[in-house]
Amino acid sequence: MADKPFSHAGIIRFKGQLMTVVPHQGPCYRCVFKEMPPKDAVPTCKQAGVIGAMGGIIGSLQALEAVKYITGVGDLLVGRLLTFDGLKGEFHTIKLPPRGEGCAVCSDHPTITKLIDYEQAQCEWKPGQK
């Protein structure tokens, strides 16, 4: 909605994924994730665990996407979702749906036209906690 590019990523346990959204060039976040999951459908990092190295791997890939965007080189992960299975040491790329088809945000007839605050489970971990 702000017409700003961003890299979206998520990690849980030994799995991670990322994609890059460039407005008007590929699918937006809502094109891919049509509905927010119910509040307690996704475990928090405290419940499921996050491997620190996964944050380093996926975060570095996000930084690389930013460098490629800024410098205009390479192929961004626009329209593709990169997944990494840390247990198997395998990367996969999934082709995402085209931009705008039935999307509540970027289609010709959007139904979501302003930001929405969703109530989601929060990570309960605080620095210094074990």
Q: How many residues bind Zn ion (CB under 5 A)?
A: 6
Residue labelled with tokens 């944050």: 55
Nearer to Zn ion (CB atom), residue 27 or residue 54: 27
Alpha helices per DSSP H over the chain:
29-32, 45-48, 52-71
Residue 31's CB is within 10 A of a number of other CB atoms, namely: 22
Separation of CA 107 from chain center:
20
Interacting span for Zn ion (CB under 5 A) from 7-15, 26-34, 35-43, 53-61: 26-34
CB of 27 to Zn ion, least distance (A): 6
Interacting span for Zn ion (CB under 5 A) from 51-59, 69-77, 95-103, 120-128: 95-103
Cα separation of 32 and 123, whole Å? 23
Which residue's CB comes closest to Zn ion? 103
Six-digit token pair at 30?
A: 């809502």
CB of 107 to Zn ion, least distance (A): 7
CB of 16 to Zn ion, least distance (A): 23
Cα separation of 77 and 20, whole Å? 5
Contact footprint for Zn ion (CB under 5 A): 28, 30-31, 103, 105-106
